[in-house]
Amino acid sequence: MLARPRPLVIVVLLALAAYAIALPFFGGAFALKFATRVMITGIFVISLDLLIGVTGLVSFGHALYFGLGAYSLYFISPTSAPANAFLAIPFAMLLAGTVALVVGSVAVLTRGFYFIMVTLAFGQMGFSLFFDTKIAGGTDGAYINVRPVFSLGSWQLLNFQNRAAFLYFCLAALVLSYLFLLWLVRTPFGRVLQGIHHNEARMSALGFNTYAYKLASYVIAGALAGFAGMLFAAIDGYVAPELLGWRESGLAIMMVVLGGAGTLYGPLLGAIVYSLVEETLKSASELSAFFSLFTNAANAKWLGGIFANSWSIPLGLFLIAGVLAAPKGIAGFIEKFAGQPKRSKPPEIKPEVEQREQAKAMQLEVENLVRAFGGLIAVNGVSVKFSSNKVHGIIGPNGAGKTTFINVLSGALRPTGGNIRLENEEIGGQRPHNVARRGLGRSYQRTNVILPFTARENCALAAQARFPSPLRFSNSWHRREEDEAVERALAAAGIAPERADIRASNLSHGEQRQLEIAMLIASGAKLLLLDEPLAGMGPEETGRVTALLRELSADHTIVLIEHDMDAIFAAADTLTVLVEGRLLAHGTPEEIRMNGAVREAYLGEWGQEAKP
């Protein structure tokens, strides 16, 4: 989870802010304007980092919202009077946010590179709208003749015409935007966004509507970019269609990467560094001044001229050096010196020692279930009933359709035919997060936890799924219940307290599998679908986890796929044998062991050997 900034980072940011505050006292008009522009760019790029670094959505069309924000000021400004910023700002954010809602509702359906391209497409369509038509001046752009003011009635609070006042306003806006995003990503909402970034399928299976979360972050980022765009238009009162174009979007991505995605402050530094370097490289006089440190004035002037003439070569080389030397951007570079992050202290909660009472879990009934992939029928008319508070094993040779079966039950795949009833309610064909919310939790064949989060954070995320509204921005709602659920889950799954605050990526394989079960428990699922929970475990771990499963069946129904015959015959109350998509047998372990057909198709010699 994104940690609070380290002290060194805070020092750097404060120093920059102090510099900005002092600037009007010694800087010229251009310095002020330059700083103002960089700060506005800063708001724009940190809004993009919410998408790229936090939610994991690389948008190549973010300038669409920046540009719309800029044009919104044009739309709202009277020809020869100032717009009121009290109206202009909400209008910019509303316009950008609304368009983001429309575009996002389509775009977040796609993933990865395809998302990049869809956002690029929408950005270019936005650009064409302003470039190819005469809306707002068309190709040549449009003027905002008078800069906005903050006014209440006739009382003018702040006039953007005043460069220093505008600079301070932008600084305040940047600081607030940064703090807002920092707060946002650490709320329950933001934690889910980070979870989606690292493992969307898992978050969906926990019961989060990942679509809604992604869309919400897209809209927030869009609205914030709109705000930045509106401020940008106020600098000099000129807007052009190119503000919406892919070059601006690309530049913003550049700054995010250069600064370090996923840190929020990094992209800000990226914006500052990129702007300064470009500015310096393009200016013959500055380059000459720089070279004059090493050589005489004439040579320096000559060199400066040459470099400024071909400024994009040194800029390109600078970027390449940046990528190769600092893979995590400027922020990664700073954090090397900032030491390990301090994690927030775990809550001081002792799981209530009271014995959990036997709770009736859920029963699952499958009737004539079919799932086909084109012509291949992976699950073929399976009917079986998993009664509550029992451990049910599913076995069968590879390719028997076991994982497909579980995927259909959990909603990851739609059934082609048949019924699935959870506590007599039909759940067949529902989306995974809806199925999960009804109390069905699942684990995966390959370990599937959020690797950059600690074990406790993983469980907290899962516990949050009990109240999975995307509008949860406060930590305090349900805090106690969730904290308890987390501690209980960690204890129940046997994760040692001293391991709970280690990043999941540093846990052993077995611990990660345990964590996965802990997450299911924390999520409050009553029926657990486990896909090979014992895979890759040594005999000792296997023993521990099978015991855990037995224990859990006190208040859960458990359905698991397993290949470890010794373990599953020992742990399961019933066994279901699937072969080539069909139900071959269902019964107690003893019945299955004696079943001739099962032995023929699957168990072979094993059954006899193990027979007492």
Partner 1 sequence: MHNKSRITRRDALKLAGAGAAVAAFPFARPAIAQGAPLKVGLLLPYSGTFAALGDAITNAMDLYVKQQGGKLGGRTIQWVKVDDESKPERAVENTSKLVEGEKVDVLIGTVHSGVAMAMAKIAREAGLPTLIPNAGANALTRSQCAKNIFRTSFGNSQPGVAAGKAMIDAGIKTAVTYTWGYAAGEESVEGFKQSFLAGGGKIVKEIRLPFPNVEFQAGLAEIASLKPQAVYSFYAGGGALKYMKDYAAAGLNKSVQLWGPGFLTDGVEKAAGEAGNGVKTASHYVDTLDNAENKKFRADYNAAFKVFPDVYAVQGWDTTHLLDIGLKAVGGDVSKKDDLFKAMRNAKFNSPRGPFRLSASQNPIHNFYLRELKNGENVFVKVAATDVSDPTTGCSLA
Partner 2 sequence: MDLVLIQLLNGIQYGLLIFLAASGLTLVFGIMGVINLSHGSFYMLGAYCALTLTQFTGDIFFSLALGVPLAFLFGVIIEWLFIRHLYDRDHLQQVLLTFALILIFNEVQKILWGSYPHSVPVPGYLQGGVKISELLSYPYYRIAVAAFCVALALAMMFVIQKTRVGRIIRAGESNREMVEALGIDSRLLFRFVFAAGVALAATAGIVASPLESVYPGIGEPVLIISFVVVVIGGIGSIKGAFLGALLIGIADALGKVYFPAFSSSVVYALMAAVLIARPGGLFGRAA
Partner 3 sequence: MSTPAILAENINTYYGRSHILRGVSFTVAPGETVSLLGRNGMGKTTLLRTLAGLLRPASGRVQLNGADVTAARASARSRAGLAIVPEGRGIFPNLTVAENLTFASRANAKGERPWPLERIYALFPRLAERRHHWGNELSGGEQQMLSIGRALMTSPSIVLLDEATEGLAPKLRDEIWATVKQITDSGIAAIIVDKNLNDLLALADRNTIMAKGEIVFDGTSDALRADEALIHRHLGV
- Work out whether 15 is an interface residue with partner 2 (CB under 8 A): no
Put residue 536 in one of left, alpha, beta given phi > 0 → left and psi -120 to 50 → alpha: left
Alpha carbon 75 to its chain's center: 34
The answer to whether residue 327 forms part of the interface with partner 3 (CB under 8 A) is no
**Per CB under 8 A, 339 contacts partner 3:** no
Binding-site size for partner 1 (CB under 8 A) equals: 48
Task: List the one residue out of 380, 391, 397, 401 whose CA is nearest residue 588.
Answer: 391
* Residues 28 to 67 in contact with partner 1, rule: CB under 8 A: 28-31, 33-34, 37
Element (H, E) at 158: strand 155-159
Number of residues lying near partner 3 (CB under 8 A) = 24
Phi and psi at residue 356, to the nearest 5°: -65, 130
As a whole number of angstroms, the distance between CA 371 and CA 379 comes to 5
Pick the closest to residue 518 from 542, 474, 487, 562 (CA basis).
Answer: 487
253 binds partner 2 (CB under 8 A): yes
Euclidean distance between CA atoms 78 and 84, whole angstroms: 10
Judged by CB under 8 A, the residue of 160, 169, 227, 246 near partner 2 is 246
Nearer to partner 1, 27 or 148 (CB): 27
Per CB under 8 A, does 506 bind partner 1? no
- Per CB under 8 A, the list member of 1, 2, 20, 27 interacting with partner 1 is 27
The amino acid sitting at 170 is C
Tokens of 423: 């506590």
Out of 324, 471, 540, 611, name the contact with partner 3 by CB under 8 A.
540
Contacts to partner 1 from residues 131-170, by CB under 8 A: 131-132, 138-141, 143
Residue (of 418, 467, 448) closest to 531 by Cα position: 448
Tell me the per-residue interface mask from 169 to 208 with partner 2, x by CB under 8 A, - otherwise: ----------------------------------------
Cα(182)–Cα(171) distance, rounded to whole angstroms?
A: 16
Q: Which stretch binds partner 2 (CB under 8 A): 18-26, 102-110, 287-295, 509-517?
A: 102-110
**Site map (CB under 8 A) of partner 1, residues 267-286, x = contact:** ------x--xx-xx-xxxxx
User: CB 543: neighbour CB atoms within 10 A?
Assistant: 14
Q: Give the shortest CB-279-to-partner 1 separation in angstroms.
A: 5
Q: Which residue has the tokens 């308890």?
A: 484
Q: Which is nearer to partner 3, 482 or 564 (CB)?
A: 564
- The 206-245 contact track toward partner 3, x by CB under 8 A, reads ----------------------------------------
Interatomic CA distance for residues 383 and 562, integer angstroms: 19
Distances (CA, A) of 460 to 224, 345, 437, 456, 548: 28, 14, 16, 6, 21
Measured from the CB atom, the residue of 78 and 399 that comes closer to partner 3 is 399
Task: Encode burial over 409-430: b for 16+ CB neighbours within 10 A, e otherwise.
Answer: bbbbbebbebebebbeeebbeb
Does residue 320 bind partner 2 (CB under 8 A)? yes
The CB-of-99 to partner 1 minimum distance in angstroms stands at 19
Identify whether the C-beta of residue 23 lies closer than 8 Å to the C-beta of residue 167: yes
Site string for partner 2, 290-319 (x = CB under 8 A): --------------------x-xx-xxxxx
Distance (Å, whole) CA 568 – CA 575: 8
Q: Minimal CA–CA distance to 523: which of 431, 471, 449, 426?
A: 449
- Say whether residue 302 binds partner 1 (CB under 8 A): no
| Residue whose tokens read 């204890």 | 491
- Which of 396, 415, 432, 439 is the binder for partner 3 (CB under 8 A)? 396
Considering the complex, state which of residue 119 and residue 553 has its C-beta at the smaller distance from partner 2. Answer: 119
- In this chain, which stretch among 174-182, 223-231, 236-244, 489-497 interacts with partner 1, using CB under 8 A? 236-244
Distance, CA of 520 to CA of 443 (rounded, Å): 8
Q: What sign does the CA torsion over 475, 476, 482, 484 have? A: positive
Among 120, 184, 235, 535, binds partner 2 (CB under 8 A): 120
- The residues binding partner 1 (CB under 8 A) are 27-31, 33-34, 37, 128, 131-132, 138-141, 143, 235-238, 240-243, 245, 247-248, 273, 276-277, 279-280, 282-286, 289-290, 308-309, 311-312, 325, 327, 333, 336-337
- The residues binding partner 3 (CB under 8 A) are 396-399, 506, 508-510, 532, 535-541, 543, 563, 565, 602-606
